[in-house]
């Protein structure tokens, strides 16, 4: 199955979404040494990638627009009750990043030029960025 670079309104912003992080690296013109948030459509999909420490399972399950950095360093966000689920329910998971050049402001013209598939609502306004928490074995730390 071919993996595309989508331009879409995610649950938090207008973003690039793909199951291949290299496609996002190229679109953003950034070095491939940074990690992307992996967005999943359900708790079941999350379980296929990582184990959530027992202490935080309820917090992760109940969270909305919240990204969690797991003890292994990978970050995940479960998207629920969003139009973005129309895509996620089909592909189950994806890497996600804002649709802009690395370190630059969003440029709609540029984003549409580099995307392979555009699933986009015109005139959408970015909502707030997701909250980010780092889960440790014994404690949780708020990053953003």
Q: Six-digit token pair at 81?
A: 């009750």
Instruction: Kindly report the backbone phi and psi dihedral angles of residue 79, in degrees, each rounded to the nearest multiple of 5, phi listed first.
Output: -100, 125
pLDDT digits (tens, 9 = 90+) for 2-38: 799 999 988 888 899 999 999 999 999 998 888 899 9
Domain 6-142, CATH class in plain words: alpha beta
- Decide if 63 contacts 70 (C-beta within 8 A): no
Give this prediction's pTM: 0.87
Report domain extents, the chain.
6-142
Over 60: is that where the pLDDT of 142 sits? yes
Instruction: Provide mean pLDDT across the span 121-130.
Output: 64
Q: Six-digit token pair at 9?
A: 């309104």
Q: 4: Cβ–Cβ under 8 A, 6 or more apart, which residues?
A: 18, 23, 116, 117
Q: 72: Cβ–Cβ under 8 A, 6 or more apart, which residues?
A: 50
What pLDDT is attached to residue 8? 92
pLDDT digits (tens, 9 = 90+) for 52-78: 888 899 999 899 889 999 988 899 999
């Amino acid at each position: 199955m071919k993996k595309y670079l989508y331009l879409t309104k995610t649950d938090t912003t207008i973003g690039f979404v793909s199951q291949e992080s290299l496609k996002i690296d190229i679109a953003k013109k950034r070095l491939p040494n940074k990690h992307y948030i992996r967005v999943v459509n359900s708790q079941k999909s999350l379980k296929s990638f990582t184990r959530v420490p027992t202490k935080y399972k309820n917090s992760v399950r109940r969270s909305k627009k919240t990204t969690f950095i797991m003890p292994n360093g990978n970050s995940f966000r479960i998207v629920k009750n969003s139009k973005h689920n129309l895509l996620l329910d089909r592909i189950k998971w994806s890497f996600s990043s804002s649709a802009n050049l690395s370190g630059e402001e969003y440029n709609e013209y540029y984003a549409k030029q580099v995307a392979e598939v555009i699933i986009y609502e015109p005139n959408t306004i970015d909502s707030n960025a997701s909250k980010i928490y780092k889960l440790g074995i014994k404690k949780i730390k708020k990053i953003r």
